[in-house]
């Protein structure tokens, strides 16, 4: 018998209106779904869209079968969603929330159909869906994708307060030359960290503008805290009050990329006796501990510059200041300044300078340099140089393109141009006499046919040099023929790992943008954790080439490296999820080593990482490696030379890179939906812990919430822990804590180092992308945790804050 229809009724217009809405909702699904099918993608969107449109037409016709048809579409959607993504929370949200929202009015309008059997059943079902949506909203505020494996080791014995004051200082960028960011301080611990409060706030006045970023990690030595701002302005602060002791402004200028990640400290003693410049007698002899630094000799007779702050600038100067007064040290260089452009040949404005803190080792200051990525071939050299920390005289140079140059180049020549540079922070082992350099790659990044043999060998590598002579001891490459900008961004971390025989092996742990973690014997560079060469996709543009294999650290966990699939595409709504699926299917993607070509290809992990310059922390008492990562892919497309030349300027990262001197420019950008939401499912950044003895993942948690960001760049105000892109690095303490602040929301957080559980968070005035530090004041015995907050990446909010936290005074 045909279904009875009605010609009117007081609620008939609601059925028509809802039916029209259903047609409007379904039409884009069909339109986009047909495109997706044409690209070889899922049929779901087309079929679901047709079902929604047909259901809408039946509502317009006031047929109750419209409700039944939508019920079938909804149940099929639930089955499809679970089949495609399992029971993971965030992948299900864009698949099920919108259909459930539509189902509620569809049910509530059911009594308006002719011959309706009543309200009870449809209203009850609508109520159940409303409850489910409310539960989903509530559940969204709970972290998802959390890994928590048992940490089976016994808790270390309580820390005995160190006798040496330097043990509670923060004298190096990574606290010690080993770069572990571990403080043997437990005044603030898991039991009392929830009581932390702001001790003081200092504003340096150098708020980041344009491409500037505040990424400074302060130093604390003796009775003073030293910090620098994006334009290299240095302040010396009272550690207990934040009051300024002195200020030095070098008037440094650069057209872009203004940042200062830190300054360094040096105490000259009596003139040293030069050691024989040779390898240790037994370079493979195990070491029981890493020497944090040599004993500090007695200060010179004069009080002037008895202790010195060492800094580099964004206009390529090396400067020494009196640590007590901020005055230039006149016995260093030319009135306290060394010109780092010497020997570098032509340097166009903004093409070469230093962003990372200089490395002070023994009586030497070693510097590398940042170059403006991807603009052209033959950019300034990646040469690394060591200067006398006493006089500023050049002691040695490492020019990987011409090993014969060990100091200044011959008159009229320069260090080899276009070679891989060292823009991040090295680490060094005083006992072995080795310094470890993380290298970049030869410019430009996305075309490599022009590169020299030396550039190929040293790109994206870790290189060990003799500290005294700059002679190479060993190298280990993390990417062969890098045409993806997978250079090594992080400071190596030096730590002695159990060898399985009751002893220790001196290890170097190297994080990479690829999410691979390499564990090497720092004596000879041989892998401790197994490394395997695996075949990778081929097919570079004609004229370039790809390496047949690439190294994978199979003996250590990889972080954030699950390959992309269409099913992993995401969005805040079904529409932008569909958009992302279509765009993904348009891209060429064969994994992390998909070669760039003239069609668009996907890079994941992208050139931001994986892991970046924030580097790792190691809880040395528990043997836990703490890392934060970024999960933000990019697309890249090679653009023919003539078109690239007419495009305009050149971008270091997102946008068009000219790559002059090669056949192609490179157009690249983030893989985002029209709402500004990443096109893949969360998390977009995590913090993880790895047991360095078992080499297993102990815990992993999403990093940060949506509170201070959201679709279209609007702040949601909601603390939904979706896990956002991270910058900066973590710090571990013997109090069982990890401190971290480089999230997209404006907080400094403290986590339990063995579980990843958040124990405390403190609201910051703006976001941070720097690494925190901690120390104990020699004057008051108070432990402080300090963070520079100048604004989170991709946030419009900027500031000039240095914030210190401490426990409240006890009565």
Decide: 30 and 53 in contact? Cβ < 8 Å: yes
CA distance 249 to 238: 18
Decide: 556 and 519 in contact? Cβ < 8 Å: yes
Residue 467 C-beta-side C-alpha neighbours within 13 Å: 22
Q: Which of 743, 753, 686 is nearest to 180 (CA)?
A: 753
Neighbouring residues of 335: CB distance < 8 A, sequence distance ≥ 6: 328
Q: Which of 82, 81, 84, 89 is nearest to 144 (CA)?
A: 89
What are the E-state strand segments in 78-231? 147-148, 182-183, 197-203, 219-221, 224-228
What are the E-state strand segments in 529-590? 532-535, 549-552
CA distance 278 to 792: 46
485 is catalytic: yes
Neighbouring residues of 387: CB distance < 8 A, sequence distance ≥ 6: 318, 338, 364, 365, 366, 367, 393, 394, 395
- How does strand 549-552 pair with strand 532-535? antiparallel
What are the E-state strand segments in 620-725? 624-630, 634-640, 655-657, 664-670, 685-691, 696-702
**Mind giving me the DSSP string for 487-505?**
---SPPEEEEEE-SSSSEE
DSSP H stretches of helix in 390-544: 453-458
Decide: 616 and 599 in contact? Cβ < 8 Å: no
Q: Which of 451, 380, 481, 450 is nearest to 663 (CA)?
A: 450
DSSP for residue 193: G
Q: Specify which residues 361 forms β-bridges with.
A: 364
Decide: 641 and 664 in contact? Cβ < 8 Å: yes
Catalytically annotated residue among 206, 485, 487, 521? 485
Decide: 412 and 418 in contact? Cβ < 8 Å: no
Task: Give me Rg for the CA atoms of the chain.
Answer: 29
DSSP H/E element including 618: strand 617-619
CA distance 275 to 378: 37
Q: Which residues are catalytic?
A: 485
């Amino acid at each position: 018998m045909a279904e009875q229809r009605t010609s009117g009724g007081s609620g008939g217009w609601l059925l028509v209106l809802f039916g029209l809405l259903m047609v409007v909702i379904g039409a884009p699904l069909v339109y986009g779904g047909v495109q997706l099918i044409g690209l070889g993608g899922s049929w779901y969107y087309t079929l679901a869209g047709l079902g929604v449109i047909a259901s809408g037409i039946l509502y317009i016709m006031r047929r109750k079968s419209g409700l039944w048809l939508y019920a079938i579409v909804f149940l099929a959607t639930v089955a499809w969603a679970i089949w495609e993504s399992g029971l993971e929370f965030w992948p299900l949200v864009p698949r099920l929330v919108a259909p459930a929202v539509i189902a509620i009015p569809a049910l509530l309008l059911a009594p308006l159909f002719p011959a309706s059997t009543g309200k009870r059943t449809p209203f009850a079902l609508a109520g159940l869906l409303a409850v489910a949506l409310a539960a989903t909203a509530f559940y969204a505020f709970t972290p998802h994708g959390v890994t928590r494996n048992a940490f089976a080791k016994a808790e270390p014995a309580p820390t005995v307060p160190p006798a040496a004051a330097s043990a509670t200082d923060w004298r190096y960028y990574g606290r010690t030359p080993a770069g572990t960011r571990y403080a043997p301080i437990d005044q603030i611990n898991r039991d009392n960290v929830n009581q932390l409060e702001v001790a003081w706030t200092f504003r340096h006045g150098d708020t980041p503008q344009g491409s500037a970023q505040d990424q400074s990690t302060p130093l604390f030595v003796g009775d003073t805290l030293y910090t620098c701002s994006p334009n290299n302005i240095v302040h010396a602060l009272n550690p207990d009050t934040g009051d300024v002791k002195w200020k030095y402004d070098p008037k440094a200028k650069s057209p872009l990329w203004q940042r200062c990640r830190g300054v360094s400290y040096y105490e000259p003693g009596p003139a040293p006796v030069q050691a024989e410049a040779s390898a240790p007698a037994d370079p493979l002899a195990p070491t029981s501990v890493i020497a944090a630094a040599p004993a500090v000799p007695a200060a010179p007779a004069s009080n002037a510059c008895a202790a010195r702050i060492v800094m580099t600038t964004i206009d390529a100067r090396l400067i020494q200041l009196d640590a007590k007064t901020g005055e230039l040290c006149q016995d260093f260089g030319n009135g306290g300044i060394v010109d780092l452009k010497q020997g570098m040949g032509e340097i166009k404005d903004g093409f070469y300078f230093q962003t990372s803190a200089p490395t002070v080792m023994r009586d030497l200051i070693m510097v590398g340099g940042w170059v403006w990525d991807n603009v052209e071939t033959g950019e300034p050299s990646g040469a690394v140089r060591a200067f006398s920390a006493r006089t500023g005289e050049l002691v040695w140079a490492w020019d990987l393109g011409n090993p014969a140059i060990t100091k200044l180049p011959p008159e009229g020549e320069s260090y080899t141009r276009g070679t891989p540079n060292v823009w991040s922070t090295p680490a060094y082992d005083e006992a072995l006499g080795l310094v470890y350099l993380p290298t970049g790659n030869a410019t430009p990044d996305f075309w490599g046919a022009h590169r020299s043999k030396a550039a190929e060998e040293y790109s994206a590598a870790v290189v060990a040099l003799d500290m005294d002579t700059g002679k190479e001891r060993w190298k280990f490459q993390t990417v062969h023929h890098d045409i993806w900008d997978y250079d090594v961004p992080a400071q190596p971390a030096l730590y002695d790992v159990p060898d399985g025989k009751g002893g220790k092996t001196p290890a170097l742990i190297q994080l990479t943008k690829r999410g691979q973690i390499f564990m090497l014997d720092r004596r000879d560079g041989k892998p401790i954790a197994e490394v395997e060469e695996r075949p990778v996709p081929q097919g570079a543009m004609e004229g370039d080439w790809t390496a047949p294999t690439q190294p994978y650290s199979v003996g250590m966990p990889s972080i954030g490296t699950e390959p992309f699939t269409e099913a992993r595409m995401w969005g805040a709504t079904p529409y932008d999820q569909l958009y992302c699926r279509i765009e993904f299917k348009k891209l060429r993607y064969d994994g992390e080593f998909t070669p760039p070509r003239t069609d668009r290809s996907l890079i994941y992990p992208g050139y931001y990482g994986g892991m970046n310059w924030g580097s790792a922390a190691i809880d040395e008492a528990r043997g836990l490696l703490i890392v934060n990562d970024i999960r933000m892919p990019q697309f890249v497309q090679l653009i023919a030379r003539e078109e690239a030349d007419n495009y305009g300027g050149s971008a270091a990262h997102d946008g068009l890179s000219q790559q002059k001197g090669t056949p192609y420019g490179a157009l690249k950008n983030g893989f985002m939906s029209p709402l500004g939401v990443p096109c893949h499912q969360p998390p977009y950044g995590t913090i993880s812990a790895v047991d360095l003895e078992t080499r297993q993942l102990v815990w992993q948690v999403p990093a940060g919430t949506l509170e201070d960001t959201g679709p279209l760049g609007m702040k949601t105000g909601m603390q939904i822990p979706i896990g956002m892109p991270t910058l900066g690095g973590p710090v571990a303490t013997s109090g069982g804590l990890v401190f971290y602040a480089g999230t997209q929301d404006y907080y400094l957080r403290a986590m339990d180092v063995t579980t990843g559980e958040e124990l405390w968070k403190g609201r910051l005035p703006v976001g941070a992308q720097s690494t925190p530090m901690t120390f104990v004041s020699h004057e008051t015995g108070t432990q402080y945790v300090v963070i520079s907050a100048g604004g989170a990446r991709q946030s419009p909010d900027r500031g000039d804050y240095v914030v210190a936290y401490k426990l409240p005074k006890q009565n």
